[in-house]
Structure 1
């Protein structure tokens, strides 16, 4: 985390220097001379967290036109020049402002003033739980009302068609989708992006194998994957990785598609692909690449030997297949 500490007064500067020397993450001290608002806005673009030792009003006026999304906005803290109060004012959970406020308060001997409802009520912070498990949310507008329900009732019900990790005490698994507050699914059907009374989440549980002709544009690959998912009733958001043959490492369209979709990209040699049996084979592909097939074996290998949910689909200049991972989707951090 890149941290900037901004100070206006000499006393604030002393506190900033002390904090910068004690923080394990390291920090850059910025003495605001002249236009304080401009200095804050510059730091906003360059750092992951801003610790502003000044009046709250100055900070609010500076960041107001810049706030976009709690998933991308930097953490913003306000601290008085005596270090008595440390207030996270933006990105408390996903941006890490709440945790950072607690650290700063320990260094100053002051009090972290945490105002997020889940923290003060002792309940699970849903946005952090979702982020920690790499779940993709289809209807972010439902977060606030569902989180409010958790704070008010003390419990939320979760339905999943693909298993669940051990849950915190205030989240309970149920087996009736219709009565769930949170639905975790790899399917596309039944997901209402505008629905506000329940959250729809997609787990990192699927891998797409892709074969393509040389020079195929990212748009063509994207369209093929989208159509494959549509026909199979699969949520594309559940695809966290794509895979292909290693001679496609420099395939511009494939690399661009992976970047645009925000997914991992894995490659396998022809020899590795040929170790997979029971796939649809192609003499044309064998002559061109040395592999008996690409999309199906690539999907199977990249999913840890998973089951094909969608067998080879042929599109203009693109082939696709989709496999489900063999490990629990919540164990993505195990080096797989």
Structure 2
């Protein structure tokens, strides 16, 4: 969601024009009479139907509006000076991986300025879009962008990778800005090697590692100087007895992932049989891993269960001979770790095919 904040009535025309193109929520200072609102709706800068317009009068409170939009918006556009925008957002800035992108447009619409969260927050991209809509000059000052180099956080964003450590990402970006070449070891071959980078066959210090693993096989490597970008391609097939405690399932899964050197943050989804769709322990695990929990009907499982080890106990209980492996199979993943059994729980680990 994009929110447009217009602290001055003089910026309303700009705000309306942007709203029409971006389908944004609008926060405007100044009185708008009903007949004027109807006129706006009928004009070429009409509000889109699902926009929420907040009509404030003398009680327009910029700090309160900014606080609200920081909570609900992916991006915020200020129609104001940069000074007003900086003072408005300064109290609410947390971190570049959670802050919304912030763009500023001056009241003469000469410039669109990327102010905050240019990469992960997307304000650089939004700045370019705003400049096209208003036919104004985009101002982007992030060092890697001005040097035409892809920053590590842009690589992560473009390929839906998780940044292991933002401080390391900043260090790698600093190396690139200083003119030093950074190596990339890409386990998947998904990254284009562009300006500032080189391809690695073996991981080295001051480099980027695209992986789903916890550690690299070279134990002598200083991992404080390696930026890991994690690909979420792991599927966990889980079976368990009814009402198995969440902590027990979590410990079993984490121990198993560590044993086979898989990063839990690489988990893309958790799968099981439909009878487990209300299994509280698995539901909580999926919430903890921030991934979907998907279940399959027993009729679907029966189509592939013959490939895997059968359990008469499971058949008597659920009507199918196996759960964890067939469900991973049905998810489209390739099983890399077959059924692991532990105290009434089973786990299979799969990797989604690229």
**Number of the residue aligned with 2:8:** 9
Q: Given that residues 272 and 323 in structure 2 are in contact (C-alpha distance below 8 angstroms), is that contact kept between their aligned partners in structure 1?
A: yes
User: What are the superposed Cα offsets for residues 198-219 of structure 1, whole Å, 9 maximum, x if unpaired?
Assistant: 2112222321110022223333
1:102 maps to which of 128, 142, 146 = 128
Q: Given that residues 172 and 206 in structure 2 are in contact (C-alpha distance below 8 angstroms), is that contact kept between their aligned partners in structure 1?
A: no
Is residue 318 of structure 1 aligned with residue 317 of structure 2?
no
RMSD: 2.4
Shift of residue 286, structure 1, vs aligned partner:
0.8
Q: Structure 2 unaligned segments of length 5 or more: list them.
A: 30-55
TM score, norm. by length of structure 2: 0.82
Is residue 279 of structure 1 aligned with residue 308 of structure 2?
yes
**Alpha-carbon spacing, 1:110–1:302, altered in 2? closer, same or farther (3 Å):** same
Which structure is richer in relative contact order (CA contacts within 8 A, separation 6 or more)? 1
TM score, norm. by length of structure 1: 0.86
Q: Structure 1 unaligned segments of length 5 or more: list them.
A: 329-336
Q: Given that residues 186 and 205 in structure 1 are in contact (C-alpha distance below 8 angstroms), is that contact kept between their aligned partners in structure 2?
A: yes
Distance 1:166 1:200 in 2: 14
Q: Given that residues 86 and 112 in structure 1 are in contact (C-alpha distance below 8 angstroms), is that contact kept between their aligned partners in structure 2?
A: yes
**Number of the residue aligned with 1:142:** 168
- The alignment of Structure 1 onto Structure 2 pairs a total of residues equal to 321
Distance 1:116 1:20 in 2: 26
Larger radius of gyration: 2
User: What are the superposed Cα offsets for residues 244-297 of structure 1, whole Å, 9 maximum, x if unpaired?
Assistant: 111112222222221221123222222332323442321111100111111122
**Alpha-carbon spacing, 1:134–1:5, altered in 2? closer, same or farther (3 Å):** closer
Is residue 36 of structure 1 aligned with residue 62 of structure 2?
yes
1:114 maps to which of 140, 144, 155 = 140
**Number of the residue aligned with 2:282:** 254
Shift of residue 45, structure 1, vs aligned partner:
2.0
Is residue 298 of structure 1 aligned with residue 327 of structure 2?
yes
Q: Given that residues 237 and 272 in structure 2 are in contact (C-alpha distance below 8 angstroms), is that contact kept between their aligned partners in structure 1?
A: yes
Q: Given that residues 4 and 24 in structure 2 are in contact (C-alpha distance below 8 angstroms), is that contact kept between their aligned partners in structure 1?
A: no
Q: Per the alignment, in what secondary structure is the counterpart of residue 313 of structure 2? A: helix
Q: Given that residues 6 and 28 in structure 2 are in contact (C-alpha distance below 8 angstroms), is that contact kept between their aligned partners in structure 1?
A: yes
Shift of residue 182, structure 1, vs aligned partner:
0.7
Shift of residue 60, structure 1, vs aligned partner:
1.9
